[in-house]
Amino acid sequence: MTLDGFSFRSVQFSPVPVSPLTVTLTVTGTGTDNENENENENENENENENENEYE
């Protein structure tokens, strides 16, 4: 909660609320990136299995 309150205060004092927005984007971005990487790995495994079946 203290981090959230601090980010909101920085938005109020700074004329351009870019820094707190970028921080939240990077935090959420890393989470989605990790999920996407796992999904891509699963897709690649499925593709490899299909190729083996055709052989």
- pLDDT value for 1: 47
What is the pLDDT confidence band of residue 10, given thresholds at 50, 70 and 90? low
Question: Taking all residues of the chain, what is their mean pLDDT, rounded to a whole number?
Answer: 56
Beta-carbon contacts of residue 10 (< 8 Å; ≥ 6 apart): 17, 19, 20
For residues 12-28, give the mean pLDDT.
Answer: 57
- pLDDT value for 30: 56
Residue that has been written with the tokens 């935090």 in this structure = 27
Angle value at C-alpha 11, between 10 and 12, nearest 5 degrees: 90
Q: Could you tell me the pTM of the whole model? A: 0.14
For residues 10-24, give the mean pLDDT.
Answer: 56
What is the pLDDT confidence band of residue 26, given thresholds at 50, 70 and 90? low
